[in-house]
C-alpha cells in the first residue's frame, strides 16, 4: 500500500513540476497562488467565525531599549492564546511588526535560541508578537502537577490532540493556523503597528506554521520560514 501510494504521489509531484515550469509572468504566479490557496483551504477545512479577542495585558517587563507586554487573547471563545509583545522603546510613528512562531521547545518562545532571534528583531526596530502554540509554553494540555511539567514532550503534546482531530474528521493544522491569523488581528488592534508592514517567521514547527499561515492570510506581506522546508519527494523517499 505504501509503495502504491508513493507511486501515485510521485506522479502528482511530476505533474506539479510541469505546471510550475510553465509559470513565467507575475500574472501566472498570482493565479497559481490563488489556486494553491483555494486547495489548501479546502484541505484544512473552514475556519471558525471571528469573535472578540478579549485581549488583555497581564504584566510588563522592562528591558534596556524595549519592553515586553504579557498578553493573552481568545482565538475562539474560551480558547486562550498566551503571547508576549516586544516593543522597542525608540520608535518613530507606527513600526513594522513580526509574528514569531516557536518550534518544538517545551517553553516555546522563551527558549534562549528563540529569544536571540526575537531580541535581534526588536533591536532593529521591529515590534514582535511571539505566541505559544497549543501544547507549549503556558498552553500545556497534559500538565503533570506533581512533576511540574508536561507528561510528554511538545511533539507528543501535538500528536495526541492531532489524533483526536483526525478521528473527528478535522485537521489540527486548522487550529495552529487560526492562532496565527488571530495574532495578526491582535497586531492590527495595536496603535503602534503599521498594518502595511506585517511579517511572520519561525523555526522548525514554527517555520511550518509560518508557511501555512502566510499562505492563507494576505495581511502577512513577508514570510521567512526557518529550517523546516524540504521537498515532498525527498520526504517520501526517505
**Average pLDDT of the segment spanning 102-117:** 82
pLDDT at 73: 97
- Nearest Cα to Cα of residue 200 among 137, 144, 126: 126
- Nearest Cα to Cα of residue 200 among 124, 121, 139: 121
User: CA torsion sign, 226 to 231 to 236 to 238?
Assistant: negative
User: CB neighbours of 237 closer than 8 A, spacing ≥ 6?
Assistant: none
What pTM did the predictor assign?
A: 0.86
pLDDT at 135: 66
**Average pLDDT of the segment spanning 169-190:** 91
Q: Which of 60-64, 105-109, 120-124, 151-155 shows the lowest per-residue confidence on average (mean pLDDT)?
A: 151-155
Q: What is the pLDDT of residues 198-234, one digit of tens each?
A: 999 998 888 889 999 999 999 999 999 988 777 778 7
Residue with cell 526575537: 118
**Average pLDDT of the segment spanning 47-58:** 96
pLDDT at 238: 73
Helices 172-188, 205-216: crossing angle, 10 deg rounding: 70
User: CA torsion sign, 115 to 116 to 118 to 122?
Assistant: positive
Quote the CA–CA distance of 40 and 52 in Å, as a whole number.
26
Which residues, listed in sequence order, are joined to residue 66 by a DSSP beta bridge? 63, 88
Cβ pair 75, 130 in contact under 8 A? no
Q: Which residue has the higher pLDDT, 19 or 138?
A: 19
Cβ pair 81, 179 in contact under 8 A? yes
Which residues, listed in sequence order, are joined to residue 69 by a DSSP beta bridge? 60, 85
Q: Is 238 helix (H, G, I), strand (E, B) or coil?
A: coil
pLDDT at 78: 93
- Nearest Cα to Cα of residue 127 among 81, 73, 88, 71: 88
Q: Which of 2-6, 35-39, 115-119, 135-139 shows the lowest per-residue confidence on average (mean pLDDT)?
A: 135-139
**Average pLDDT of the segment spanning 128-146:** 76
Which residues, listed in sequence order, are joined to residue 73 by a DSSP beta bridge? 81
Cβ pair 126, 70 in contact under 8 A? no
Residue 101 above 90 pLDDT?
yes
Quote the CA–CA distance of 205 and 209 in Å, as a whole number.
6
Q: What is the pLDDT of residues 64-87, one digit of tens each?
A: 999 999 999 999 999 899 999 999
Residue 163 above 90 pLDDT?
no
Mean pLDDT of the chain: 88
Amino acid at each position: 500500500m505504501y509503495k502504491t501510494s508513493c507511486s501515485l504521489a510521485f506522479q502528482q509531484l511530476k505533474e506539479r513540476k510541469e505546471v510550475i515550469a510553465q509559470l513565467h509572468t507575475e500574472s501566472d504566479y498570482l493565479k497559481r497562488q490563488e489556486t494553491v490557496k483555494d486547495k489548501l483551504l479546502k484541505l484544512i477545512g473552514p475556519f471558525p467565525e471571528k469573535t472578540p479577542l478579549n485581549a488583555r495585558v497581564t504584566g510588563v517587563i522592562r528591558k534596556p531599549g524595549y519592553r515586553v507586554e504579557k498578553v493573552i487573547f481568545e482565538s475562539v471563545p474560551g480558547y486562550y492564546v498566551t503571547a508576549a509583545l516586544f516593543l522597542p522603546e525608540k520608535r518613530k510613528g507606527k513600526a513594522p511588526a513580526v509574528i514569531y512562531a516557536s518550534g518544538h521547545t517545551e517553553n516555546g518562545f522563551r527558549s534562549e535560541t528563540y529569544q536571540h532571534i526575537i531580541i535581534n528583531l526588536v533591536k532593529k526596530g521591529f515590534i514582535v508578537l511571539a505566541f505559544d502554540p497549543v501544547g507549549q509554553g503556558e498552553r500545556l494540555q497534559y500538565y503533570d502537577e506533581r512533576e511540574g511539567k508536561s507528561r510528554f514532550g511538545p511533539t507528543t503534546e501535538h500528536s495526541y490532540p492531532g489524533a483526536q482531530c483526525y478521528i473527528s474528521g478535522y485537521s489540527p493544522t486548522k487550529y495552529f493556523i487560526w492562532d496565527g491569523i488571530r495574532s495578526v488581528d491582535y497586531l492590527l488592534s495595536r496603535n503602534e503597528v503599521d498594518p502595511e508592514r506585517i511579517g511572520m517567521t519561525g523555526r522548525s514547527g514554527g517555520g511550518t506554521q509560518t508557511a501555512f499561515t502566510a499562505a492563507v492570510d494576505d495581511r502577512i506581506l513577508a514570510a521567512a520560514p526557518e529550517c523546516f522546508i524540504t521537498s515532498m519527494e525527498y520526504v517520501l523517499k526517505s
